[in-house]
Amino acid sequence: MVPPASVPLGFLLAGAVGLVAFGACLAFGATLAVRSPRSPDVLAVTHLGVLAFLTTAVLGALHQFAPVVGVRALRSIPVARITVVTLVIAVWALPIGFAYFPTTLVVVGGLVGAVAVCLAAWNLSGPLSSREGGIPVVGLRLSVLYLLVTVTFGVVYVLDRHYGWFPLIEHRVLAHAHVGLFGWLGLTYISVAEKLWPMFLLAHRPKARSGAWAVGLVAAGTAVLGTGLLFAWPVVTGAGGAVVAAGIGAHLTSLAGAVKHRRRPLELLHVFLFVSAAFVVVALVLGAVGGLAPVSTTVRMHLVSAEIAALIAWLGLAVIGHCHKIVPFITFNRLRERGIQTNRSGGPLLFGDLFDHTVAVATLVIGATRFALVVAGLAAGFAAAVAAGGAAVGIAGLAVTLNLGLGPRRVLPKAAHQDPEPELARTT
C-alpha cells in the first residue's frame, strides 16, 4: 500500500537540505531582511524556507501518509520519483533566480514547479479519492486544492516579473503567502495531526469535533483571508483572519484533548508540538497587531515579517518533530525486512534505537530558541538576532539530518552479523 521507502525519504532528504540552506541564507541576509523585507534576496530566502524545506518535506510525508489514511496506493510510483526530481529543480531555481536576477530562471522554476505540483496532486488523488479516512482525508483534499491555488498564484507572480502585465503589489504577495502557509501547509498539518495524534498517544477521545472544526474553519477562513488581502479589503481580511484564528484554536483544543485522554506517556515529539503551538499563537497575535494597530508602515512591515517567520517556525518545528517518528518508522521496516531484529545490545529493535535522543533534544532546544530569535529580531528590527537565529536554524537542520540519516548505522555493525532467527523465535 505504501510506496517504497526511497520515495518519502527522497522528499525528506531534499527538505532537510532546504532547511540547512534556509538557515544559512537567513543568517547572511539578516540585515537586508530587517531593512528591506520586500527585496528579491529576502524573497529568495523565504522561498527556501517555504518551498525547499516545508513544501518538499510535507509532500514527502503525504506520499507516505495518504495511502495509509486512504487505504489506497498512489497512482504511480515512477511519477512519484519524477515529482521529487522536478520539485527539487523548481524549489532551487526560484530562489537562485530571485537572488541573482536571471528572470528566465524564475519563469522556468515557476513552470517546472507547477508541473511537479500537478503530478503530485494527480498521484495523491488516488488515495485521497477514498471514501474512508474521515476528516483527515477531507482536509487533505482541501489542502492539495490550496496547493494548486498557491502554485497558480506563484506562476502568475513569476510571469509578471517577466512580462509586467499583472499589477503585483504588497497585499497580493501577502495573499499568496497566507494562502500557502494556512491553506496548503497549515491545513495539511492540521489534517494529518487528526490521525497521528490519537494514534501516537493511544488517545480515545469521547468527541473529536474540535478536529473537524479546525479543518473546516481554517479551510473556509483562508479563502476569505486570501480574498481580502488580494483585493485590499480590510473588513474581509479581518473576518477571514478571525475565522482562521478560530480554526487554530480548535486545532489546539484537539491537541489538548488528545493529550488529556492519552494512554501512552508524552515523549519528545509532543514537546516539539507544544513549542510549535506557541509559535502559531505568537503568529496570530503578530498578524492581528500588524493588521489592526495604528502603527507606521515600517513597524507594520516588521510585524508582518515576524508573523510569517512565526508561521514558518510553527510548521517547521512540527515537521522536524514528526520526522523523529516518520523516518525511524520507515527505517525500522526496512531493517526488519532485511532480517535485522535486534539492536546493538541484543535487545529487540525499537524506533528509539534509530536516533540519538540527546541530539534530538539539542535540536529542539536550538531550533526553538533560534526561531524565537528570528521572530523577535524581525519584529524589533534587530539584524543581529535574526543572523544568530538563522545560523542556529541551519545547525539544527544539519543535526536532525545527520541524526536520522545515520540511524541504521547504530544497529547495523553488530546486528547485521547476528542470526536474527533466535530472537525472532523468542518474539513469536
Given this model, what pLDDT does residue 97 score?
87
- The SS3 call for residue 342 is strand
Given this model, what pLDDT does residue 313 score?
93
Mean pLDDT of 263-288: 92
Residue 221 above 70 pLDDT? Answer: yes
Backbone angles phi, psi at 348, to 5 degrees: -60, 140
Residue 249 above 50 pLDDT? Answer: yes
Residue 272 above 60 pLDDT? Answer: yes
Given this model, what pLDDT does residue 418 score?
45
Residue 363 above 70 pLDDT? Answer: yes
Max mean pLDDT among 53-67, 328-342, 378-392 falls in: 53-67
Mean pLDDT of 97-124: 88
pLDDT band (50, 70, 90) for residue 240? very high
C-alpha cell at 48: 527556501
Question: Contact at 8 Å (CB) between 293 and 370?
Answer: no
What percent of the chain is modeled with pLDDT above 90?
Answer: 45
C-alpha cell at 318: 512540527
What would the pLDDT profile of 23-46 be if each residue is shown by its tens digit? 888 888 888 888 887 788 888 899
What would the pLDDT profile of 89-99 be if each residue is shown by its tens digit? 999 998 888 88
Residue 428 above 50 pLDDT? Answer: no
- For the question of whether the overall pTM of this predicted structure is more than 0.85, the answer is yes
Given this model, what pLDDT does residue 420 score?
40
Mean pLDDT of 394-422: 69
In 10 A of CB 364, how many CB atoms?
Answer: 21
Given this model, what pLDDT does residue 424 score?
34
d(CA 411, CA 345): 9
Residue 416 above 60 pLDDT? Answer: no
Question: Contact at 8 Å (CB) between 186 and 246?
Answer: no
Distances (CA, A) of 335 to 61, 328, 329, 384, 420: 20, 10, 10, 45, 11
Of 147-151, 225-229, 373-377, 389-393, the range with the lowest mean pLDDT is 389-393
Residue 423 above 50 pLDDT? Answer: no
Mean pLDDT of 43-50: 90
pLDDT band (50, 70, 90) for residue 83? very high
